[in-house]
Amino acid sequence: MTDELKLWRGKFGDSYKKRNELRDEDISARENMWRQVFNNSNYDRDRHYQSDTTNVLEVGCGQGINLIALSNITRNTTEKTAFFGIDPNEKSRKECIKNCDMHGFKPTIKNGCGQALSDIDNGSMDLVFTSGVLIHIKPEDQLSVMKQNV
């Protein structure tokens, strides 16, 4: 286990919630960000469907702000979206589940980190992302994290 991962699994990670309160205006801002990402990308939601469900995974889901924002903007679409998140900190995972439940959906949240995505079936996710996590991974390890297939 890396020093960074130990840090996030301990008191530093536990106090993340106190340092980053989840507020409605932040969720709204994140919704706008995701709309821009989709509008400015070549992401074609219909080109790769083999099922009726889109699977979305956030690596380092924290309190769930991105999952909540994506749930809010995909809620009225015709396809179903299944949300997944991994985070190394137990308190963050519990907070994410609670926050998502308060916003009307139930993601699958598991213990994990970007360095070990082997528990996720290759090709099972339609969208995998991370936000604000790579800065906590040693530069020499970042490429291997980003190259993982899920």
Measured CA to CA, the distance from residue 60 to residue 4 in angstroms comes to 13
- Is residue 13 very low, low, confident or very high in pLDDT (cuts 50, 70, 90)? low
Measured CA to CA, the distance from residue 5 to residue 36 in angstroms comes to 31
- Supply the pTM of this predicted model: 0.79
Residues 6+ apart with CB under 8 A from 18: none
Q: Is the separation of the CB atoms in 54 and 82 below 8 Å?
A: yes
Q: State how many domains the chain has.
A: 1
Q: Which two tokens stand for residue 120?
A: 């996720």
> Where does residue 91 rank: exposed (0-12), middle (13-18), buried (19+ CB within 10 A)?
middle
Domain that holds residue 123: 3-146
User: Which tens digits make up the pLDDT trace of 111-124?
Assistant: 887 666 666 677 78
94: domain CATH number is 3.40.50.150
